[in-house]
Amino acid sequence: MKEINKNRYMGYHALYGNPIKRKIVRFIYLIIFGPLFQTSFFKNFITACLIDPFKVMKIRTIGIDLVLNISSYTSKRMIEEFKLSKTEEKTQIWLKNNLKDGDIFMDVGSNIGAYMIFVNKLRKLKKSIAIEASSINTKELLQNIYLNRLEKNNIDVIHAAAGDENKLTVFDIPNVRTADGHGKVTSKIGKNIGKSFRKTYGDHSIREIVNLRRLDDLFKELNLIHPNVILMDIDAHEVNALKGMHNILSSRLLRAIIIEVRESTLKDVERIVSSYGFICKEKNIEGVGNIVFTK
């Protein structure tokens, strides 16, 4: 894997590493992408179809051009990270080296679809499957597919949470801003569910009832072919998701997996995936990081 461009990383660190700069940037984002744009002056232009209601950002990363909608400062920050972060560039290079034309790609925890757009511009894929639990992010993911003219690229967007059983469940999210990736499946529906989550994120956090699905059952129900490459980033839910993927992990078609893990989930993820004959090729975990498996 080629050396990461240090200038890109330093640019990211300069923008987000300094807490004062972070606050200034956040304030600017709130003005530009928040209430100011929602004033009647702008709304009149939108409803008159004189300007496009999408607030788009165009980026280029490792030679691939993406167009992404910005509906909040959170999504703007995530897009900047996707372009400038050393970790994200490393993942992008891994996908470039492991995805082939004609592959089936699955992204579990697609968020607003940056990687889904990236891989479909990188390779001519047979099919792409996006799994996203948040309805807010799913909406933006669909918009980004449209903005990049990928409607005909055989992309299946599935609004569901990956897990080890099939049922309705509570999905707590800190706020209603797009691209916020800190949602949490709380497993049961009841009046006390989400209490600990609200202690962390405050009473303004909200709960969404979503379908929790074993991906094996979902693939069977939708008659989907097993993927060749999987990207998973679901904020500490990866162990339960893997438990519901026995058939997928056993498939001869699957040859590579990259999973974001925590130190708390690392051992279980390694144990489960390795039991299907995969070899851990790369592991760099300091709190949170990616682990790579291949056959």
Cα–Cα distance, 43 to 183 (Å, whole number): 31
Confirm whether 137 is domain-assigned.
yes
Confirm whether 198 is domain-assigned.
no
Q: Label residue 173 left, alpha or beta by phi (over 0 means left) and psi (-120 to 50 means alpha).
A: beta
Cα–Cα distance, 260 to 178 (Å, whole number): 20
Asked whether residue 37 carries a pLDDT value surpassing 70, the answer given is no
Phi, psi of 163 (to 5 degrees): -155, -165
47-94 tens-digit pLDDT: 555 555 567 889 999 999 999 998 887 888 889 999 999 999 999 999
Give Cα separations from 191 to 133, 134, 170, 186 (angstroms): 21, 21, 11, 12
Asked whether residue 233 carries a pLDDT value surpassing 80, the answer given is yes
Residue 121 burial by CB count (10 A; 0-12/13-18/19+): exposed, middle or buried?
A: middle
Confirm whether 39 is domain-assigned.
yes
Compute the Cα dihedral for 146, 255, 96, 114 and give only its sign. positive
pLDDT value at position 213? 97
Number of domains composing the chain? 1
Question: What value does the mean pLDDT take over residues 226-238?
Answer: 95
121-179 tens-digit pLDDT: 999 999 999 999 999 899 999 999 999 999 989 999 999 999 999 999 988 877 666 65
Confirm whether 186 is domain-assigned.
no
- pTM beyond 0.85, yes or no: no
Confirm whether 168 is domain-assigned.
yes
List the CATH number of the domain containing 257. Answer: 3.40.50.150
Confirm whether 179 is domain-assigned.
no
Confirm whether 74 is domain-assigned.
yes
Asked whether residue 258 carries a pLDDT value surpassing 70, the answer given is yes
Confirm whether 163 is domain-assigned.
yes
Domain hosting residue 46, numbered range: 6-172+210-294
